Amino acid sequence: MQHNTQGSAKDVKLVEIQNLTKHYKNKAALLDLNLTLEPGHIVGLLGPNGSGKTTLLKILTGVIRDYSGKVTIQGNEIGPSTKALVSYLPDSSYFSPWMCPLDVISLFKDFYSDFDEKKCIEMLGRLGLSEKQKIKTMSKGMLEKFQLCLVMSRNALLYLLDEPIGGVDPAARDFILDTILSNYNEAGTIFMSTHLISNVERIFDTVMFLKEGEIVLQDDIDNIRLKEGKSIDQLFREVFKC
C-alpha cells in the first residue's frame, strides 16, 4: 500500500481539506469548505439537519467521490490507502439481516489488518450483546452498539462516527461514550457528528458548527466556554435558533 512519503511527518496533517464543494444535482451540500484536523483530538461536528455533516464524513470515508476541492488524509488523496486509515461508523446499518456478530467479526478480521477481534468480543460482552443473535432480531440501539464495537476495535488513525448514540437509551449513553474514550487509538482523532450535544460535549476538545455546508465556528471547547460563558449545547441553540 502506497502512503505519502513527501515532506516531513510534522508538515503532514491528519486531515486537510481545501475548497471542498459538493452538489447533489443543483443543490450545494458543502460549499468551499476548508478544514484541518490534527492527530490526538476528539472533534465534534455539529449542525442542524441537512447542514452537510453526513456528506462530509462520507467524503472522508471515500463513499462519496464526486466533489470538487482537495481532500487528503495523512497527505494521501482519498482512495484505498486512506480507507485503511479510517474507521467509519455510518448513520445506518449495512449488514445482511441474516448475519450475527460472529459472522461480521470474521469479515472484519479478513478485511482490516488493524482489527482486534478479542477486543471486539470483550466489548460486546460489556455492552450486554450476544455474539450469536441475528442482526434482523436486534433493536436499533443494539445494532448501534454492535457497530460501535466493530468500529472502535480497529486501531485506526481517524475514527469517523456519524451520530453514534442516536438510538441508544439515555442510561447507556455515558457508558457508550466511556467505551469510545477507552477504546480509541489515542494517536488518532475522533471526528463525531451528533445532535445529542449536552450528552456528548464532555468528551470533545474541539467543536465545529456547520451551517448550510459552511463552517461557521471552529474552536477549542475551553476557549468557547471561556469566551461565551456557556455550554456548547446552549451556544448551538442560540446560533441555530429557528
Catalog residues that contact ligand ATP under the rule CB under 6 A.
24, 27, 29, 47, 49-55
In the complex, minimum distance from the CB of residue 186 to ligand ATP, in angstroms, rounded to a whole number: 27
CA distances from residue 36 to 15, 19, 218 in whole angstroms, order as listed: 5, 12, 10
Of 50 and 80, which has the nearer Cβ to ligand ATP? 50
The DSSP result for 3-19, as a single string, is ---SS-TTT--SEEEEE
Of 44 and 47, which has the nearer Cβ to ligand ATP? 47
Of 27 and 241, which has the nearer Cβ to ligand ATP? 27
Return the C-alpha cell found at 2.
502506497
> Hunting for cell 442510561 — which residue is that?
171
In the complex, minimum distance from the CB of residue 58 to ligand ATP, in angstroms, rounded to a whole number: 8
Distance CA 217, CA 172 (A): 30
In the complex, minimum distance from the CB of residue 111 to ligand ATP, in angstroms, rounded to a whole number: 25
The DSSP element (H or E) to which 82 belongs, if any, is: helix 80-83
Distance CA 48, CA 27 (A): 17
In the complex, minimum distance from the CB of residue 54 to ligand ATP, in angstroms, rounded to a whole number: 3
Of 39 and 48, which has the nearer Cβ to ligand ATP? 48
